[in-house]
Amino acid sequence: MNPPIFRRQGILFVISAPSGTGKTTLCENLRATPDFIYSVSCTTRAPRPGEVDGTDYHFLSREEFLLKIERDEMLEYALVHGNYYGTLKATVKEALVHGTDVLLDIDVQGAMAIRKTSDVMLRDSLVDVFIMPPTLEELEKRLRKRGTETEEQVQMRLRTGYEEMKLWPLYKYTILSGSMEEDLTKFRAIMRAERYLSRRLELHEVP
């Protein structure tokens, strides 16, 4: 007897965490995983030193960003720390349809928009994960260590982060952030389990 063949739609992994938690590094490590694409967001914020257009973000002018909203090219978008950030619809949907898992690093507003979307395919594929900083002091320490923000920007990100942390119960999973290796191990455990969910699988061929 031939073994059964299972197929499934891709999973939309959403990671949210207050700025400075270490989420970007976590996502960079996860991007190396095969059959897993990282959706490069669009933003109107200026690139940080070392950031590459098209790899870290698609850096757009405000006009270009608003045009994409008008043309309905955004799966979700939000105003975060005074700048627009958004996910391109086409890339994500195409990957999911082809059974490829997608990783999104988006803020709490973006995660909320996907939970509420009328697009059933997107809602069904969503697995949202919140990365909780161990303490507020540690968050501030990590944010300052990065050294890319002005004092005013640090204060704004800390205030936003504090508000974001209150929303962890809305997420399917919450990881209490430890070392990068610990966070990676915990995220990969979630990823594996979600890939084996029976409800996601479709028996393609019964021998």
Interface contacts to ligand 5GP, rule CB under 6 A: 19, 41, 45, 76, 78, 80, 85-87, 105-107, 109-110
Q: How far is the CB of 193 from ligand 5GP (least distance, A)?
A: 23
Closer to ligand 5GP by CB, 85 or 187: give it.
85
| Residues forming a β-bridge with 166 | none
Closer to ligand 5GP by CB, 149 or 201: give it.
149
Q: How far is the CB of 168 from ligand 5GP (least distance, A)?
A: 14
Closer to ligand 5GP by CB, 8 or 91: give it.
91
Least Cα distance to 13 among 149, 204, 191 occurs for 191
CA–centroid distance for 165 within its chain:
16
Q: How far is the CB of 188 from ligand 5GP (least distance, A)?
A: 20
Q: How many residues does the structure list for the chain? A: 207
Strands 201-205 and 5-8: antiparallel
Four-residue CA torsion sign, 189, 191, 194, 200: negative
Q: How far is the CB of 42 from ligand 5GP (least distance, A)?
A: 7
Q: How far is the CB of 108 from ligand 5GP (least distance, A)?
A: 8
Closer to ligand 5GP by CB, 11 or 17: give it.
17
Q: What residue ranges in 17-168 does DSSP mark as E strands?
A: 36-38, 42-43, 58-59, 74-80, 83-88, 101-105, 126-132
Closer to ligand 5GP by CB, 149 or 200: give it.
149
Q: Which helix (H) or strand (E) holds 173?
A: strand 173-176
